[in-house]
Amino acid sequence: DQQVKQNSPSLSVQEGRISILNCDYTNSMFDYFLWYKKYPAEGPTFLISISSIKDKNEDGRFTVFLNKSAKHLSLHIVPSQPGDSAVYFCAASEASGNTPLVFGKGTRLSVIA
């Protein structure tokens, strides 16, 4: 049973427009959420995170929104750039941070120039 779901395997966006990547979770014990970005043949790199005490966290062009009641989070990239083309993984962890991160299956974002 998948606890972290990314239902869109791929997304195509034009350069300069907004990219919205979605993630849903089922485990109510999750209270810290992260987004990782992965290029082919490389390890994932941390992008942005959010704690459950917040509903929004912003870092430059990247904003993560959290809706706890809906168990849903989203990553917004504005404006999208060709270099943003990668696979984006949503991950979640429980309060203690001592249990392994649970990852979604990823969404492949293609930003078209």
Partner 1 sequence: SQTIHQWPATLVQPVGSPLSLECTVEGTSNPNLYWYRQAAGRGLQLLFYSVGIGQISSEVPQNLSASRPQDRQFILSSKKLLLSDSGFYLCACSTGGHGYTFGSGTRLTVV
What residues are paired with 71 via a beta bridge? none
Q: Could you say whether residue 1 binds partner 1 (CB under 8 A)?
A: no
Yes or no: say if 80 and 18 are a contact pair by the CB < 8 Å rule.
yes
Binder among 88, 93, 109, 111 for partner 1 (CB under 8 A): 93
Binder among 15, 57, 76, 102 for partner 1 (CB under 8 A): 102
- In the complex, minimum distance from the CB of residue 75 to partner 1, in angstroms, rounded to a whole number: 16
Q: Could you say whether residue 42 binds partner 1 (CB under 8 A)?
A: yes
Q: Could you say whether residue 66 binds partner 1 (CB under 8 A)?
A: no
Q: Could you say whether residue 103 binds partner 1 (CB under 8 A)?
A: yes
Q: Could you say whether residue 43 binds partner 1 (CB under 8 A)?
A: yes
Residue 100 DSSP label: P
The Cα–Cα gap between 15 and 6 comes to 22
Judge residue 53's burial from the number of C-beta atoms within 10 Å of its C-beta, 0-12 exposed, 13-18 middle, 19 or more buried. exposed
Binder among 27, 32, 57, 76 for partner 1 (CB under 8 A): 32
Helix-strand-coil percent breakdown of the chain, rounded to 5? 5, 55, 40
Contact residues: partner 1, CB under 8 A: 6, 9, 32, 34, 36, 41-46, 49, 89, 93, 97-98, 100-106
